[in-house]
Amino acid sequence: MARRRAICPPPSPPRNSSGRPWRPSNSFYRAHNNPHLSPKGVLSGSKQTARLLVCSPASPRRCPKPDRFYLLPGGHTKGSTIKEGCVRNMQGQKGFEGWYFKHQKGDSMVAFIPGRAQSGGFVQMISQKGARQFAVSRVTIKDGIIRADQCRFSKQGCRIRLPGVSAEIRYGPFAPLGSDIMGPFRFFPMECRHGVLSMAHRLRGSITVDGERYDFDGGLGYAEKDSGTSFPRSYLWVQCNDFPAPCSLMLSIARVPFCGAAFRGCICAILYRGKEYRLATYRGVRIRVFTPEHIRLSQGDLTLELNLTPTHAGHPLRAPQRGTMSNTIRESCNAHLEARLTKNGKTVFHLQSGHAVYEFVPDPRR
Higher pLDDT, 145 or 81: 145
Instruction: Give the model's confidence band at 86: pLDDT under 50 very low, under 70 low, under 90 confident, else very high.
Output: very low
Mean pLDDT across the chain = 81
Q: Give domain status of residue 130, yes or no.
A: yes
Q: Give domain status of residue 157, yes or no.
A: yes
Region of poorest pLDDT, from 49-53, 203-207, 329-333:
49-53
Average pLDDT over residues 118-125: 94
| C-alpha separations of 204 from 40, 96, 165, 200, 217 in Å | 27, 30, 17, 13, 4
pTM for the full model?
A: 0.79
Sign of CA dihedral 291, 293, 297, 301: negative
Q: Give domain status of residue 298, yes or no.
A: yes
Rounded Cα distance, 315 and 111, in Å: 12
The conformation of residue 216, written as its DSSP 8-state character, comes to -
* pLDDT score for 115: 96
Q: Give domain status of residue 17, yes or no.
A: no
Q: Give domain status of residue 126, yes or no.
A: yes
Nearest partner of 87 among 117, 44, 126, 45, judged by Cα: 117
pLDDT at 46 over 60: no
Rounded Cα distance, 43 and 54, in Å: 9
Rounded Cα distance, 237 and 227, in Å: 16
Structural domain harbouring 239:
78-361
Q: Give domain status of residue 329, yes or no.
A: yes
| Neighbour count for residue 170 (Cβ, 10 Å) | 23
* pLDDT score for 260: 75
Q: What is the pLDDT of residues 254-267, one digit of tens each?
A: 998 887 788 899 99
Q: What is the pLDDT of residues 270-329, one digit of tens each?
A: 999 999 999 999 999 999 999 999 999 999 999 999 999 988 889 999 999 988 999 999
Rounded Cα distance, 300 and 119, in Å: 44
Instruction: Give the model's confidence band at 20: pLDDT under 50 very low, under 70 low, under 90 confident, else very high.
Output: low
Average pLDDT over residues 28-53: 35
- The count of domains in the chain is 1
* pLDDT score for 74: 40
Pairing of strands 247-258, 235-240: antiparallel
Give the list of residues 6+ apart from residue 33 with CB closer than 8 angstroms, or none.
none
